[in-house]
């Protein structure tokens, strides 16, 4: 089976399409162009998990990073034909971004947000690295495209940083409940 997405045939991309996001109890993911929380250990987990893999992200998320993260190709999606940044591949559609990411030789493409890119990409994602923080924050962007019913838990790890003044959260690795892989032969 060959799945066409935009101008890209996804079975030509020889890597798993993964997503990595953190959300609170209400699926909140963003506030005023930034993260609603600061959890250093989750940032370290993000770094470990994404290292060496191509990162696909929306332009707003890229701006929030404050620069290029070392050791990972960046593919930024924007509608602005003039937008560019040193060390970054620019794409004007999600399909183009995936095609560019597919040229980097690793096992996974990592879609890292934000909410708008996740909403479009969610049906294509095979593996989701999801941190769920057991807290309610304030903000303005949600991962509404995520539905627990569509995922199976591969692994989960519970972390409790409340004694250090932090939060309880869980690192989930989830696999999409799809009968046919996008890469079926
Ligand atoms: N909790 C987490 O794990 C996490 C992870 C990442 C981000 N975030 C947060 O999420 C928020 C950002 O999310 P967001 O939804 O506002 O922005 P975003 O998805 O990061 O970026 C949106 C921008 O990407 C471009 N874009 C998106 N879809 C496109 C398409 N189909 N074709 C062409 N360009 C496209 C457009 O850029 P132009 O405007 O340049 O055309 C659009 O304005 C921030 O608060 C950020 O901190 C949270």
Q: What is the DSSP letter of 118?
A: H
Strand partners, 80: none
Dist. CA 134 → ligand 1 center (Å): 24
Q: Name the residue ranges covered by the structural domains of the chain.
A: 4-176
Q: Which atom of ligand 1 is nearest to the CA of 31?
A: 45
C-alpha R_g of the chain:
16
In the reported structure, the alpha carbon of residue 70 is separated from the centroid of ligand 1 by a whole-number distance in angstroms of: 20
10: number of Cβ within 10 Å:
20
The verdict on the CB of residue 174 being under 6 Å from ligand 1 is: no
Fold exhibited by the domain 4-176: Dihydrofolate Reductase, subunit A (3.40.430)
- The CB of 49 under 6 Å from ligand 1? The reply is no
* Sign, Cα dihedral of 54, 169, 39, 24: positive
Over the chain (185 residues), the average pLDDT of each successive run of 10 is 62 84 98 97 98 98 96 98 97 96 91 97 96 98 97 98 97 86 52
**Rounded Cα distance, 119 and 114, in Å:** 9
- Say yes or no: CB of residue 128 within 6 Å of ligand 1: no
CB 113 within 8 A of CB 57: yes
Do you know the residue count of the chain? 185
Spatial contact of 87 and 76, defined as CB atoms under 8 Å apart? no
């Amino acid at each position: 089976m060959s799945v066409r997405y935009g101008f890209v045939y996804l079975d030509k991309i020889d890597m798993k399409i993964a997503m990595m996001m953190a959300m609170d109890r209400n699926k909140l993911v963003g506030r005023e162009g930034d993260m609603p929380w600061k959890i250093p250990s989750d940032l370290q987990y993000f770094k470990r998990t994404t290292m060496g893999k191509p990162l696909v992200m929306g332009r707003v998320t890229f701006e929030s990073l404050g620069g290029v993260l070392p050791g990972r190709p960046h593919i930024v999606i924007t509608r602005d034909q003039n937008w560019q940044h040193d060390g970054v591949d620019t794409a004007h559609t999600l399909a183009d971004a995936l095609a560019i990411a597919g040229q980097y030789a690793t096992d996974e493409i990592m879609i890292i947000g934000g909410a708008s890119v996740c909403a479009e990409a969610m049906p294509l994602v095979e593996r989701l690295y999801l941190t769920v923080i057991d807290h309610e924050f304030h903000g303005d962007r949600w991962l509404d495209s995520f539905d627990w019913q569509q995922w199976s838990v591969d692994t989960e790890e519970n972390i409790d940083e409340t004694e250090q003044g932090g939060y309880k959260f869980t690192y989930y690795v989830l696999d999409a409940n799809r009968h046919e892989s996008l890469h079926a032969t």
